[in-house]
Copies of this chain bind each other. A is one copy, B any other.
Amino acid sequence: MGEIPMTDTGVRRTVLPGGLRVVTEHVPGVRSASVGVWVGVGSRDEGPTVAGAAHFLEHLLFKATPTRSALDIAQAMDAVGGELNAFTAKEQTCYYAHVIDDDLPLAVELVSDVVLNGLCRASDVDVERQVVLEEIAMRDDDPEDLVGDAFLSALFGDHPIGRPVIGSTDSIEAMRATQLRGFHLRRYRPDRMVVAVAGNVEHDHTVELVHRAFADRLDPAAAPMPRREGRFRPHSAPDLQWINRDSEQAHLAFGVRAFGRHEGEQRWPLSVLNTVVGGGLSSRLFQRVREERGLAYSVYSSVDTFADTGAFSVYIGCQPENLGEVASLTRGVLEEVAADGITDAECARAKGALRGGLVLGLEDSASRMNRIGRSELSYGNHRSVSETLARIDAVTTQEVSAIAATLLARPFAASVAGPYRRARELPAPVRRLVDS
């Protein structure tokens, strides 16, 4: 156990016996504290027969521990007005609490108890199965979420990265308590966890609290698991997925495979490209599709990043009768930027937008906790804000244009939800996104 010196980031790190990493950051001026236990396990780690297990388990662990019922847990957190929740992603699961600083010991204690000691009782599995099925139904009623999941599935096929985190109705209906218990036992080991704490907190005191909460589970022989590298091998080519929905709007997502987290420094120019194409009110997509033509309310681009692959995509919701035109227009915007690159003015503005967004987005404890937890788990190191700002500043128009040309020449995957009963009812420009 010992603190590891780091560059000037304000982040402090201690590795406890058993390879449990604790990272903290003091946020000046706040009276809150955020605690996150990050587990380096997500839906990507599931076998296909237990699709949705990581997320199901995340629900289940809150149902009971040997010393607390779900009601005890809920009451303890509600009594101090804190927030207690969790989320599951493709490569990690995070259990977190956000409280007033005085309640940090309670927050550490509750979150750790859930993560380490959550029971997987068969009776709870049956009740929580219904809740997860409701969550799937809710996702199905949210067309933006639905095409988002379908897009990653169209892009990555039946590779684990392509599967929805939430699983399928079939896999959830079939899930057994023993499978979830096994997943918990095998995967939730302290050497695969990071405890991230930010706010009005003090490092040594926080480490003590964490040490106490995890004491029984620390095997002195273990060391932190190395960061996830992955080695993405696609099983199939990007394709088109469509879902027939009796909805008012048609919803379209399309895009290409992009960079993995460890593929050099391409993330910065890609962030700039994303901002120029569809990141804000002055972006090409917002101006072309919404401001000039009124064809959509919601139109934007986004970047997903996994260890060894990623995605760059656009989303649009519009009247079904306009979908063909919107698909052509949007594709035109991407082709233009691939062919002609971006302008110096766009590059400068996008860098300003990223700079401002970064600074404004890091004022509260919860964002800081997220940043340091994610960095520790994904990279094993931390960048100071000024270092990140310097990376953004260093991006050149040429780099961004080069990345646009490379990425946007790749084959598109697309997903559509809307009132289309047959694939051939989809507008031709939508079908051509993938065919051509």
Contacts and interface: CB of A to CB of B under 8 A. Distances in A.
B248 A137 contact: yes
B249 A138 contact: yes
Nearest to A251: B141
A363 B30 contact: yes
A358 interface: yes
A103 B360 CA distance: 12
Interface stretch (A67-75, A181-189, A330-338): A67-75
A142 B247 CA distance: 10
A349 B287 contact: no
Interface in A76-116: 77-84, 98-100, 103
Nearest to A127: B294
Given A74-B287, A248-B141, A81 B353 contact: yes
Interface string A317-355: 111000000000000000000000000000011101111
B317 A138 contact: yes
A98 B364 CA distance: 15
Q: Which of A28, A77, A100, A295 has the most CB of B within 10 A?
A: A77
Interface string A281-307: 111001100111111111000000000
Contacts of A411: none
Interface in A22-38: 28-32
A292 B293 CA distance: 50
Nearest to A316: B134
Contacts of A77: 280-282
Of A82, A140, A297, A358, chain B has the most CB atoms within 10 Å of the CB of A297
A294 B138 contact: no
Nearest to A98: B360
A357 interface: yes
Given A100-B356, A248-B140, A360-B98, A131 B81 contact: no
Contacts of A247: 141
Contacts of A318: 134
Contacts of A128: 294
A80 B295 contact: no
Contact of A319 (B134, B291, B298): B134
Contact of A297 (B31, B126, B135, B365): B135
Contacts of A365: 363
B127 A292 contact: yes
Residue from A84, A140, A291, A350 having most chain B Cβ neighbours under 10 A = A291
Nearest to A131: B294
A121 to B, nearest CB: 13
Contacts of A6: none
Contact of A294 (B130, B275, B297): B130
A134 B297 contact: yes
A78 B282 contact: yes
B297 A353 contact: no
12 contacts: A32-B360, A32-B363, A78-B283, A79-B348, A81-B355, A81-B356, A81-B360, A134-B318, A134-B319, A135-B297, A137-B249, A142-B142
Interface of A: 28-32, 63, 70-71, 73-75, 77-84, 98-100, 103, 126-131, 133-138, 140-143, 245-249, 275, 280-283, 286-287, 290-298, 317-319, 348-350, 352-360, 363-365
Closest 5 CB pairs of A and B: A81-B356, A29-B29, A130-B294, A74-B281, A74-B282
